[in-house]
A and B are shown apart, each in its own frame.
Chain A
Amino acid sequence: MHTEHTIETSAERQNRHKAMEAIAVLNSLKEDFKSPIRSMGYFYDLFEKVYCHHQPLHEGKAKIGTMCIQIPSEIIYALDAVPIRLCNGFYTDDEIGGDLLPQKSCPLVKATVGWFASDNFSDKPDITFSPTTCDQKTKAGAIIESFGHTVIDVGFPRTKESEESCHYWRESVKSFAVKLSKFQGKKLTRSNLESAIKKVGYAQSLYHKLTEFRKNKAVPILGVDMFLVTNAFFFDKIDEWISAVEKLVSELEQRANDGVNVAGKASPRIVYTGSPPIFPNYKIPLIIEQSDAIIVADETCSSNRMFNDMVAVDEWNLYDMIDSVSDKYLKACTCPIFTQNDDRIRRIIQLVRSYNGDGVIYQAFAGCQVYEMEQRSVLAAMEREGIPILYIESDYSPSQHGQLTTRVEAFIESLKNRKRMKK
């Protein structure tokens, strides 16, 4: 028998490792839980296509990389390009980036830098816009640029209450729109921006419909599935995402009528907050839901924060649409990079109240300074409100799994006891 020996290139090895990471999580989503949802199949397949088979989705279209959620996707869609959010959850890439950044950096940033360092994309961004959010993201932009990519900084203020911030950010967004419009050789017009705002608004409305079901006593969808759905919005074709979510909404409606519950009767209801879980780094959400709790809501920038707040336009002319879009990305944002963040605390409390949460799990990436620093104020606020909260630090490495599981399980157990006592 003849076997061919080929030496695996580093890109192939990287892809193989990423595929392994991806498939492990997808399998766990598909197989570890009861009452699977049919229409989640689209999303499982999508992630498999992109991350296991490295299939491009957007051939022939301009792909616009974004480093954080503050780059308005409405403007990108209006200019006939696709936004690709570059927040990365792969440990493989995190390790590559680890060699290029200080040791204690945030794994998400390391993974993004690692991704660019290896230059191994299925849909490579043609140009990247980097809002100056947290220090690490801001500096990462310059590092990525040094690899020969075009990275354009978009100045983002770190206070949101002041008038100066509001004007500064509006100017930033205008200049972003001008640059992108030049890059695309296309004009931003009243009609293309209006359609894009309404389309993104419609996509957001579908997200709101999905979350509505999570208020039910019997929760018809897992938190990890929800993370996957919102995560797909980072890179999927928007129209296909929309029709897949429309199907999901109607299936959930059916399930809600039938009283299908993906969790147990006594499963504690968790509100998840902190550093964003990004595929395939669903470590903590998976531990939570494998430990007989259910995530009913979240306050993270890979999910709720991306969809919750809507653009409202008063005068449907270009000037007002651009300002509305800018204001939404600044004023409504609860990102921890802001000096004060009472809004984030109020959001968490409101989520606990309206989704009937039993407790909050606050996860910060080791090295994500802003989330680590905000921990105290959030914990204090939860204590004032009488909401149990667990704070955990984690990174992308598979090593601490056992220890994390123990802590999460203990917390969930205590929530169960609390629930029993209340009865």
Chain B
Amino acid sequence: MTKNKFSLRRAVNNMNLVRFRFWFQIVAFALIVYGGYIGLDLGDKLPTFACVFNSEGTGGKCYVGELQHDLKHPLEGFVGFAGYAFLISLGMFAVWFWVLNKGWCGFVCPLGTMQDWLTMAREKTKIRYSEYSWANRGKIKSIKYILLILLLLLPVMIANSVFGLPKLPNGLSMPFCDICPGRMMIPAFTGDFNQFYIDFSSKTDIVMTTIGMIMTGLFLVGSFIKKRFFCYFCPMAALQYVFSKPALLKLYKDGSKCTKCGDCYRACDMDILEIADDVTSKNLVTEDCTLCLKCVAACPEDGCLEANFMGATIFESTKEGFLVRMAMDQNKENHAH
């Protein structure tokens, strides 16, 4: 018990995750949203919403945007060299993604970070968060896949006549970008509000850009009252999850140590029931998980949950860490902030 009192591992396990994430997210946000001004360019296959419409500031580019662009080609083009090029892009996306796994969502994505800021604002106003019923929580899981399929299919259908259907109008060339809140919100942070418009050039454009405006409104209101509101529907998360299994960063659980107390579930912004109730799986990176690690920080059982990088534990739940984070490690008379 008294052994290795000052070890690094202990310091890490006792860390204040909320604060660590807060600062990490700010740095990541700055690099992604403003990195371009200092010449940062991480390429255009990033597994996170580094919005292409933030053309000057962005420190890299969002692969979902790129993907729609890539797919808008005649199908014949995918045979041969272009096909390889496409696969290579996808592969590069996967490689980026494998480093952090869903951690891109919990620690890097600017849209995710914005939602967390809105949550903080709500918390300050002492308004309770809302929750989905468990049944609806289950149902909405599929929406992100539907969005993903649409954003893959629509560009193909502009360039090709699929199943003999007429080609789609060009206004749908970046269908998801049209409705993505990132298109308006991210450039706004560099003072560029030009994306807040409705495009009257064609009927499709009017419809799509109007939906886009609505989506941004929903994004702001939704994530104020519901933690990570947008992430529940995010097609990026769906695309990522396809590649999640071989990723290097993992969230592991040792079910035999779990008391099913539910503390992790309470902390989880994505309301993932399995994190508490699944006591048989080892890999707990589920489809909606953002690898924010809040569950690890909230678990009071030694070694029950852990963040693991290439087989090495980097942060794990401990009784002591729990007590420190909950300020229960000392008897203070007055805890009021």
Contact = CB atoms under 8 A, between A and B. Distances in A.
B199 interface: no
Contact of A202 (B1, B294, B330, B334): B330
Interface stretch (B60-68, B86-94, B154-162, B321-329): B321-329
Contact of A319 (B2, B128, B266): B128
B209 to A, nearest CB: 36
Nearest to A320: B128
B267 A314 contact: yes
A56 to B, nearest CB: 25
A309 B328 contact: no
Given A163-B133, A310-B322, A201 B328 contact: yes
A310 B326 contact: yes
Given A242-B331, A312-B263, A201 B279 contact: no
Nearest to B1: A212
A175 interface: no
A308 B301 CA distance: 10
Interface residues of B, number: 39
A350 B298 contact: no
A312 B266 contact: yes
Interface string B222-245: 000000000000000000000000
B189 interface: no
Contacts of B276: 331
B260 A332 contact: yes
A186 interface: no
A309 B259 CA distance: 8
Interface string A191-233: 1001100110110110010001100000000000000000000
Nearest to A213: B1
B282 interface: no
A312 B279 contact: no
A260 to B, nearest CB: 15
Interface of B is mostly: loop
A182 interface: no
Nearest to B299: A312
Contacts of B257: 350
Contact of B337 (A314, A316, A323): A316
B297 to A, nearest CB: 9
Contacts of A86: none
Interface stretch (A29-37, A92-100, A341-349, A410-418): A341-349
A74 to B, nearest CB: 12
B270 to A, nearest CB: 13
Contacts of A314: 266-267, 294, 298
Contacts of B330: 202
Contacts of A313: 266, 326
Contacts of B332: 198
B336 interface: yes
Interface of B: 1-2, 123, 126, 128-129, 133-134, 256-263, 266-267, 276-277, 279, 294, 298, 300, 319, 322-323, 326-337
Nearest to B322: A310
B267 A312 contact: yes
Contact of B336 (A194, A319, A323): A194
Nearest to A190: B336
Nearest to A331: B262
29 contacts: A163-B134, A191-B334, A191-B335, A191-B336, A194-B336, A195-B335, A198-B327, A205-B319, A205-B329, A208-B319, A213-B1, A256-B1, A310-B300, A312-B322, A313-B326, A314-B294, A317-B126, A317-B128, A318-B126, A320-B128, A320-B129, A327-B266, A331-B262, A343-B259, A346-B256, A346-B259, A347-B259, A350-B257, A350-B259
B103 to A, nearest CB: 20
Contact of A308 (B256, B259, B266, B298): B259
Given A195-B335, A202-B331, A316-B337, A310 B134 contact: no
A309 B256 contact: no
Contacts, number: 103
Nearest to B277: A161
Interface residues of A, number: 43
A308 B331 CA distance: 18
B256 A349 contact: yes
A343 B260 contact: yes
A282 B326 CA distance: 35
A323 B129 CA distance: 12
B262 A332 contact: yes
Interface string A332-375: 10000000000100110110010000000000000000000000
Nearest to A315: B123
A324 interface: yes
Nearest to A161: B277
Contacts of B277: 161
A345 to B, nearest CB: 11
Interface in A289-339: 308-320, 323-324, 327-328, 331-332
Chain A CB within 10 Å, residue with most, of B126, B279, B300:
B300
A256 B123 CA distance: 45
Contacts of A311: 326
Contacts of A253: 1-2
Interface in A220-264: 242, 253, 256
Contacts of B266: 312-314, 323-324, 327
Contacts of A212: 1
B279 A346 contact: yes
A310 B261 CA distance: 8
Nearest to A163: B134
A323 B266 CA distance: 9
Contacts of A347: 259
Contact of B328 (A202, A256, A316, A317): A202
Given A314-B267, A320-B128, A331-B262, A353 B256 contact: yes
A408 to B, nearest CB: 28
B300 A312 contact: yes
